[in-house]
Structure 1
Amino acid sequence: MSLKDRGTKKWTSLMLPEHVEMLKEVFRQDEYKEKPILDEQQKVEMDTMLQCALHNDLTVEITYFADHDYKKVEGKLLMIDVLNNRLALEDEIEIKISDVIGVNVL
């Protein structure tokens, strides 16, 4: 007698759609990235670059952490609002200062 195993076909019929969605969510959460911890020297260096870019009207590339991922945005800095913890760039882009992890003056 020959045994033919159908692999995963045999088990997928037993899973409810809710279980499939929960498994997909678990796999998505495994791919989340963690926000790096910056030391004081890095923060001071980024602050100096931002102030220089603001006063000299230079284009900057800002790397920031949002939605469990690293994102980059490029543009001219319009305002640094320390009281509300945000940076304003052209094209109405706003970034939290606490989310910034890297600044590069272009």
Structure 2
Amino acid sequence: MNDKFYESEQILDLSKAQDRGSKKWVAMMLPEHVALLREYSKEIKREPKPDLDEWDYDAIHHTLDIAIKSKADTKVKMWRDGAFIYNRGIVESIDLRSRVMELEDPFSLLQLKLDEIVDVTIMD
């Protein structure tokens, strides 16, 4: 008799149920709490700034020197406000006094701060 009971019983498959996550709790929260939770979420996603040593700066300088002389397609990795930003183009000039590099991409001429650069790669 027990076997028939188990055969006729429908087994619920909970893997197809979709939870609304935090949406169901937002209606019960104050706007200040929602703002703090969003700010906390942004803080968690922040990338730490890489610690560059003398060897890293020397490698960046050497790669930039080759890129500007050969007018090669170059990828520049920058760290700004907790996130990595990638730009790609041809290095036009470097101004050491104002610590700015000009990079020409297909759409515009970008001015990048040298202090934000963490890696440079020649793509050619």
TM range (shorter): 0.7 to 0.9
Gaps of 5+ in 2: 1-21
TM-score w.r.t. structure 2 length? 0.72
Higher RCO, 1 vs 2 (CA within 8 Å, ≥6 residues apart): 1
Counterpart of 1:31 in structure 2 is 45
Task: Name segments (4+ residues, structure 1) moved above 6 Å.
Answer: none
**Residues 26 and 34, structure 2, Cα contact 8 Å, conserved in 1:** no
Of residues 72, 78, 85, the one that matches 1:71 is 85
Q: Deviations over 1:37-61 (max 9, x none)?
A: 1110111111011011111211111
The answer on 1:53 being equivalent to 2:70 is no
Give the superposed CA RMSD. 1.7
Counterpart of 2:118 in structure 1 is 101
Of residues 7, 10, 15, the one that matches 2:29 is 15
Shift of 1:78: 0.7
The answer on 1:41 being equivalent to 2:41 is no
Q: Deviations over 1:57-97 (max 9, x none)?
A: 11111111113111111100011111111111112211111
Quick one: percent identity of the two aligned structures?
26
Q: 1:12 to 1:102 in 2, by over 3 A?
A: closer
TM-score w.r.t. structure 1 length? 0.83
- What count of residue pairs does the alignment treat as equivalent? 98
Q: Distance in 1 between matches of 2:55 and 2:100?
A: 20
* Greater C-alpha radius of gyration: 2
